[in-house]
Amino acid sequence: VDDLALIRKIRGICKTLDPIGSMLGLAPECDRFCPSRKGKGWKHFQQQSSILHNMRKFHLLTVRNDEEKGSKRQSSNGDRSGCNEDTAEIENGDNKADDKIVFLELGAGKGGLAALAAKTYDCDVVVVDISAFKQTQDRYIRHIGCRFSRIQIDLRHFDITKVEALQGKRFVAGAKHLCGVATDYALRAICRRSAAKNEVDRDCKNHPSNNDMTMVGLAIATCCHHRCKWGPYVGKSFLASIGISRNEFERMCEWSSWATIGSKDSSHGNHDERQTRPIEASTSDRDISGESDRKESKNTVESSHGNEHRETEIRRLDVDERIKIGHLCKRVLDAGREWYLQQYRVGVRKDPKKMTTVSPILHLSTRLVHFVNTAVSVENRLLVATNRPPKHM
């Protein structure tokens, strides 16, 4: 890969992409759940609140009305058995609960984002994570008065069509900092429904509920682009259309770590120092005893002069320039994810008897925004998608 040529190509590509919007601000309806305004808890709350604020701005969530808030306060102030009875009553056939949208948190960890959503918005909750955590928010969410499910599974194996809590439901997906390849696994899991849906449509009688599972939209905070992998990455077709090869993709992933040089967010790996060092040839694998190796070394020396020149040019880039290049690489990688979501078809339903389409085919509208300032987190990109027309984005 010609590094300097790739940098010029990346800069040219980014000039053709829409600028990243700014959607800073906290959800005022979440203020009463705000912890002390200091420390890690405050930083986490700002990010969670801003993600939910953006989801509401893009019409993905609805705030609970005052009557519901009052009833939930009364049940929460009562004894613990009363809370359980309220939850059981909802689960046993409250028609209004059946109309609730489901908040699906991917890579949920302890479920902090889902818990804040459940406290504030009119939704049921499903959380997905590969690990089992102690001191989760699960018990609190159950006592709020909404349906709740936790699924422990690797996102690469997550099949959304088999989640009972989503059958016949509208859902929105959210995530706070899905690291690297996890974002691609999450997008594949969400959009896998469209591929499975084609199979369902051939036999609607056997799977009538799957036809009604509708994704309203999503909001995923992406991060750690240096951990992306070519195989699972969802934007390969997009990269091919703009002339980016696999080797160039891998180089962009490496350079994307420059965006976090000197920040605490770079603690995912010491990539700032590792990626800025020039590549040195290893001598551990050389066999100096053979004549053939000496012949190969002549070709290597001839070709190495150009590589050394390019590496020298890369080393001459100052820190500020590397940070800019890192952000540009992240922008291109996230543009591939936007493209992938824009191919997702929504609003497709077929009459079980006539097998004809009875609603229009729409595509997701997407937008990439900064949802917090860099003082809170330098990993501050939020990928938003909605099934509303682009004019509402």
Give the pLDDT confidence score for residue 31 in this predicted structure.
86
Q: Is the dihedral of CA 125, 129, 131, 133 positive or negative?
A: negative
Give the pLDDT confidence score for residue 393 in this predicted structure.
59
Give the pLDDT confidence score for residue 67 in this predicted structure.
36
Question: Which residue from 153, 147, 183 is spatially nearest to 166, judged by alpha carbons?
Answer: 147
Torsion, Cα 113 115 116 121, to 10 degrees, reads 110
Neighbours of 32 (CB within 10 A): 9
Q: What is the DSSP string of 286-322?
A: --TT-HHHHHHHHHHHHHHHHHHHHHHHHHTS-HHHH
The answer to whether 47 and 376 are in contact (CB under 8 A) is: yes
Give the pLDDT confidence score for residue 95 in this predicted structure.
47
Give the pLDDT confidence score for residue 191 in this predicted structure.
85
Can you give the pTM of this predicted structure? 0.76
Query: Phi and psi of 272, rounded to 5°?
Result: -65, -40
The stretches in the chain having pLDDT less than 70 are: 65-98, 193-212, 263-312, 346-362, 389-393
Give the pLDDT confidence score for residue 194 in this predicted structure.
42
Neighbours of 275 (CB within 10 A): 20
Pairing between β-strand 148-152 and β-strand 170-179 as defined by DSSP bridges? unpaired
